[in-house]
Structure 1
Amino acid sequence: MQRIFFCLLVIITIRAEAQYAPSAKDSIYSHRLGELRQIEIVLPELYATDTAHYDVWYVIDGEWNTRTFTNILSFLTAIKLIPEVIVVGIPNRYVNGFNLRDRDFTPTRWKDVDSSGGADNFIAFFEKELIPYINQKYRVSGENGIFGASFGGVFGFYAMLQRPAMFRFYTLGDPAFRFDDQYLVRLAAQQLNSVPFHNTVLHIGGRTGFSYGDMARDKMDSVLKANSPSGLRWHSELYDNETHISSVFKSNYDGLKYAYLGYQTRNANYIPTGGIVVKGHPIRLFLPTNYADIRYTSDGSLPGRNSTLADDHVITDDPSSIRAISFSPSGRYDRELQKKPKTGDYLAPKKTPRNSRRLDMQSKPVDGQLSGVVTIPRDGYYVFQLTPSEGTQLYFNDSLWAQYDPAEGHTRQVVILPLRKGNYSFKLLHPAKKAGDPALDFGLYYSENGQDDWWRNPLLRW
């Protein structure tokens, strides 16, 4: 088991490192700032050969944060938790060894910070120069995100208040909201509930303990709770045993996950995905709640964001009354789960040819086909599970119950059927695999009551 885990970890790590092309250096002269600004572009590995359009994430303090951000991004895209994006790193400008981040990131002149107060010019640089330049040069989706930490988090929050539509996603690492006697806290209290947000996503990460109050995070959290309009979806995260610098890593990771919450479940369905449920004989209907915000109702009404949060499964003998929606902070991946079993009655065996092949656990496919007769030993629920590739079809009792759907790709299909004791015709077609196709992983299982761990009781495997 340890060897398998190690191999999987190596594979994921290698794949993660290969998700993005090496960074490319570029520059743009800013008339707003009166200076040449260096930028760093990181493109998805397949950008040169595909035609996709990508979200763009702008990473300030780029000389420190771009590599960390891209490494975390690579891992999350490799495990399909978020989509691939374009990264634009913006290193700070230095004059005679002096870092001008204090000038660019802060919204007001403050006696405790030299050369502060240039955030409005830096916003104009993004809005009028940098973003149009990137939009013209690359295939972009039109939706942007920004990551900033400490004073960079101050800039990100200030930009959100001043230009809420400039970015869809705002991810801030341990932002220094104490700046200028908590200027942003006061500004947010005055303006937040009147800002025209539309599915804007804000994630703030930072430290617990003394720093929570020292950075005025506690004050900002209170303002957000009291004043956030419905168009702003936000989450505040606190980390134990972290420093001002180390919390940036977790803020990157959690901020990207929160921004794209719902991406992983964008094609999710109930499990079982199809079949028949008998009234009076309820089954356990699973919902894919692993890192998802799925809300459901059991009276047939449309769920909302405040409906009951799904907790792994529901017990029902009427799947038609269950409705569930996977919500996303951005609204982009909001989707009602569709496939599920229907209500009906037991299936009865049909007469099968006397010379038909009898299938059991030792049966092997021939030329990509497994066909014959399956003997059902007792009345009850039976579950068919498979991972289809192009051309896969499952017939049982002369009816088609599962097949490859190009819209859903290799999504696992699970069909539950109530069967009477007897012999049933069975045919599973699974043509030769193409490169990249997953294994079929087919199984037929017996369920004691539709609510048990049916996968522990196989009758047939391929």
Structure 2
Amino acid sequence: MAIKITKHYIINLSLAVVIFAIGILAIRYYNHYVSAYTDVTINSSVLNESRKVFIRLPANYNPKKAYPLIIKTDGNFNLDTWDKALTKQAKSEKGDKAILVSIPNLFFTDTRNRDLVPPYARQDVNTQARPEHETLIEPNGEADKFLAFIETELLPYLSAKYKLSNNRVLSGFSAGGSFVLYTLHTKPELFNGYFAFSPAAWYDDMTVVNNLEAFLSAQDNKVKSSTYLYLSVGGAEHPLMLKAFSNLEAVLTANPNNNLVWQSAINKGAEHSDNPSISVAKALAGYSTFIKK
């Protein structure tokens, strides 16, 4: 029996497909750009765009009390893990420890590499060094602008709205980890805690490693105030990631600094996407011990 396809049927089918597609897009947007906490939009003149931030306040938040601050990249990614770790820490140490602020990437525009890749590396995160006589100029990362947004716009906003202590942490994963290391060697005084989970330090033939080494080995640029760095990688990650991690450890070992306390961990059997969730509680525990000393 032949099925008669009418114009009305085609229109209804097309509308159903469009509605379904819009619904999927709306769900993805909600999951990416809406958090379970306080969501604030900041109009950034540095980035020339509006940026959203997710703000998780401690349980029983007291506006008269000064709290440590943790800023992390990648928005909702791993945010539940952070919530659980901070809640557990609050119970074990009798007091929620920090205000957590997470910055999501833009939704309709791919800005992750633009914001998190250092300005001395290519946004397309090549493994090999840039050719000496390159004919096609590829755009570099703009982590310097993203860091300026945090320093000159986000931090002043948070300081005006909340009472903050002098303890501040910057945390990032993968490209976000390279951003953490970039911040450490360009603005080490901005935070006194740096968490780099699976840092993508292999960009452009280990350029992130090389820049960190240049900073640590220069007498004038050493870390001048007490600072904590936590590095981690999954044991089952790509060999290039493991090589960069090993190089970072070697650089830190070869260039000791009395003001820089660092810890590193290889999480056995963990894949790239697994490592951050394993690392959060460990990094918080290490930082807590560092602060108490």
Task: Name the TM-score, length of structure 2 as normaliser.
Answer: 0.77
| 1:51-66 alignment, distance < 5 Å | 51-66=64-79
Q: Which residue of 1 aligns with 2:150?
A: 126
The structure 2 residue matched to 1:72, chosen from 75, 82, 85, is 85
Quote the offset at 1:152 in angstroms: 0.2
Q: 1:111 to 1:259 in 2, by over 3 A?
A: closer
| One-letter amino acid matched to 1:229 | N
Q: 1:66 to 1:115 in 2, by over 3 A?
A: farther
Asked whether the 8 Å contact 2:69–2:100 carries over to 1, the reply is yes
Asked whether the 8 Å contact 2:174–2:198 carries over to 1, the reply is yes
Question: 1 CA distance for matches of 2:150 and 2:232?
Answer: 23
Percent of aligned positions with the same letter in both sequences? 28
Question: 2 CA distance for matches of 1:250 and 1:109?
Answer: 28
Question: 2 CA distance for matches of 1:161 and 1:34?
Answer: 25
Q: Once the two structures are superposed, what CA deviation does each residue of 1:143-186 show, in whole Å capped at 9, x if it has no partner?
A: 21111000000000100110001111101111111112111111
Question: 1 CA distance for matches of 2:284 and 2:172?
Answer: 13
Question: 2 CA distance for matches of 1:122 and 1:151?
Answer: 13
Asked whether the 8 Å contact 1:172–1:251 carries over to 2, the reply is no
Q: 1:213 to 1:197 in 2, by over 3 A?
A: farther
The structure 2 residue matched to 1:235, chosen from 218, 242, 263, is 263
Question: 1 CA distance for matches of 2:38 and 2:237?
Answer: 40
Question: 1 CA distance for matches of 2:292 and 2:75?
Answer: 29
Q: 1:256 to 1:210 in 2, by over 3 A?
A: closer
Asked whether the 8 Å contact 2:235–2:271 carries over to 1, the reply is no
116-125 vs 210-219, which moves further: 210-219
Question: 2 CA distance for matches of 1:237 and 1:81?
Answer: 27
Q: Which residue of 1 aligns with 2:113?
A: 102
Q: Which residue of 1 aligns with 2:128?
A: none
Question: 2 CA distance for matches of 1:124 and 1:44?
Answer: 26
| One-letter amino acid matched to 2:115 | D
Quote the offset at 1:189 in angstroms: 1.6
Q: Which residue of 1 aligns with 2:209?
A: 185
Query: How many equivalent pairs are there?
Result: 241
Asked whether the 8 Å contact 2:42–2:51 carries over to 1, the reply is yes
Quote the offset at 1:82 in angstroms: 7.7
Higher relative contact order (CA 8 A, sep 6+): 2
Q: Which residue of 1 aligns with 2:292?
A: 333
Question: 2 CA distance for matches of 1:82 and 1:207?
Answer: 31
The answer to which structure has the higher strand fraction is: 1
- Alignment of 1:195 onto 2:154: no
Q: 1:90 to 1:112 in 2, by over 3 A?
A: closer
Q: Which residue of 1 aligns with 2:191?
A: 167
The answer to which structure has the higher helix fraction is: 2
Q: Which residue of 2 aligns with 1:351?
A: none
Quote the offset at 1:210 in angstroms: 6.2
Question: 2 CA distance for matches of 1:166 and 1:111?
Answer: 24
| One-letter amino acid matched to 1:333 | K
Asked whether the 8 Å contact 1:106–1:154 carries over to 2, the reply is yes
The structure 1 residue matched to 2:174, chosen from 139, 150, 153, is 150
Q: Which residue of 1 aligns with 2:49?
A: 35
Question: 1 CA distance for matches of 2:90 and 2:238?
Answer: 32
Quote the offset at 1:68 in angstroms: 2.1
- Aligned residue for 2:145, secondary structure, equals helix
Asked whether the 8 Å contact 1:146–1:170 carries over to 2, the reply is yes
Q: Which residue of 2 aligns with 1:23?
A: 37
| One-letter amino acid matched to 1:176 | A
Asked whether the 8 Å contact 1:63–1:92 carries over to 2, the reply is no
Question: 2 CA distance for matches of 1:87 and 1:254?
Answer: 16
Q: 1:99 to 1:72 in 2, by over 3 A?
A: farther
| 1:406-417 alignment, distance < 5 Å | none
Q: Once the two structures are superposed, what CA deviation does each residue of 1:375-406 show, in whole Å capped at 9, x if it has no partner?
A: xxxxxxxxxxxxxxxxxxxxxxxxxxxxxxxx
Q: Once the two structures are superposed, what CA deviation does each residue of 1:333-378 show, in whole Å capped at 9, x if it has no partner?
A: 23xxxxxxxxxxxxxxxxxxxxxxxxxxxxxxxxxxxxxxxxxxxx
Question: 1 CA distance for matches of 2:113 and 2:68?
Answer: 28
- Alignment of 1:87 onto 2:100: yes
The structure 1 residue matched to 2:285, chosen from 257, 261, 285, is 257
| One-letter amino acid matched to 1:195 | K
Asked whether the 8 Å contact 2:117–2:123 carries over to 1, the reply is no
Asked whether the 8 Å contact 2:177–2:200 carries over to 1, the reply is yes
| 1:358-397 alignment, distance < 5 Å | none
Q: Which residue of 2 aligns with 1:279?
A: none
Q: 1:190 to 1:40 in 2, by over 3 A?
A: same
211-220 vs 142-151, which moves further: 211-220
| One-letter amino acid matched to 2:214 | Q
Unpaired segments ≥5 residues, structure 2: 1-35, 126-137
Quote the offset at 1:251 in angstroms: 1.5
- Aligned residue for 1:94, secondary structure, equals coil
Q: 1:160 to 1:82 in 2, by over 3 A?
A: farther
Question: 2 CA distance for matches of 1:27 and 1:229?
Answer: 39
Quote the offset at 1:119 in angstroms: 0.4
Asked whether the 8 Å contact 1:55–1:86 carries over to 2, the reply is yes
